[in-house]
Amino acid sequence: MTKKSAYRDLFPGALEMMILQTLSRRPMHGYALAQHIKQISDDLLQVEEGSLYPALQRMLKTGWLESEMGVSAKGRPVRIFKVTAAGKQHLEKEISSFEQMFAGISRVLLIAGS
């Protein structure tokens, strides 16, 4: 029961991918990241914002992310998350495999449609 993920509607690793993708463009703090993901996913993912944090900790532990002090848009001192070299590498790998999978699914759908 403790393993139940709030993101279980997504395919495995989707949240990580979104976080990596977002942070690789620009390092952010937690709140900004949550807002951003909500916006770009068009509120599609009805998730609790807090659910982001266990994922962030996991990625910190794996070494894909690192954190440092920074300043928020409102000028508060906040903890900023940014992607490490290892994180970038993982993201690229994930994207390419995701694309392959997506291409595969599309082909199947195409064949099935025709």
Partner 1 sequence: MRWFKQLFTRRRRYDELSQSIREHLEEKIEDLVDDGMSREKAEQTARRAFGNLTLVEERSREVWQWPAWESFWANLKYAQRQLWRNPGFTVTVVFTLALSIGANTAIFSVVNALMLKSLPYPHPERMGTIYTRVTGVRAWDERHKLTYEQWQLLRDDVPALLSAVSGSRTSGVNLEAGSHVQYLQAGRISAHYLDVLDVQPALGRNFTDLEDRAHGPNTAILSYSLWRNTFGSNPNVLGQAVLLKGAPYTVVGVLSERTITPLNADIYTSLQLGPEGEGSGTNVEAITRLRDGANWQEADAEINRAWSHRAHRYELNDDPSAQVTYHSVPLQKGVTATLRPQALALMLATGFILLIACANLAGLTLVRVLRRSPEFATRLALGASRWQIQKQLWVENLLLALLGGTAGVAVGFVALRGLLQLLPQHYLPVAKITLDGRVLMFTLLISLLTSVLFGMFPALAMRKFRLRSAIASHSATGGDPLRLRQALIAIEVALTVLLLAASGLLIRTLIHLQTLPPGFDATGVMTARASLDDMRYHDPVTFRKLLNESTAAMRQIPGVQAAAVGLSLPYERALLNAVTISDSKEAGQHAMTDEVYITPDYFAALRIPLLAGRSLTDGDGPDTQHVAVVNQTFARKYFHGMDAVGHYVNLNASLNTRIVGVVADVAIAPGIDATAPLTGEETMYVPATQTDPQLLALVHVFFQPSWIVRTAGPIEGLTAQMQRALASADPDLPFSGFYSMRDLMAKTLATQRVEVALLSAMAALALLLSTIGIFALVANIVAQKTREIGIRIALGSTIGQAMVHIGAAGVWASTLGLILGLILCAGALRAMHSVLYGVSVYDFPTILIVVLLLGAVTLVATTVPALRVAGIDPAKTLRDE
| List of residues contacting partner 1 (CB under 8 A) | 1-2, 6, 29-31, 34, 48-51, 53-54, 56-58, 60-61, 67, 72, 74, 76, 78-79
**Closest to partner 1 by CB, 12 or 104:** 12
Question: What does the alpha-carbon distance between residue 90 and residue 95 come to, in Å, rounded to a whole number?
Answer: 9
CB of 55 to partner 1, least distance (A): 9
Q: Which residue has the tokens 């620009």?
A: 26
Alpha helices by DSSP H, listed for the chain, are: 14-25, 30-40, 52-62, 85-113
**Closest to partner 1 by CB, 51 or 84:** 51
Per-residue tokens: 19: 């976080």
CB of 52 to partner 1, least distance (A): 9
Contacts (Cβ under 8 Å, ≥6 apart) of 111: none
CB of 106 to partner 1, least distance (A): 35
**Closest to partner 1 by CB, 26 or 76:** 76
DSSP sequence for 1-18: -TT--TTTTSPTTHHHHH
**Closest to partner 1 by CB, 79 or 107:** 79
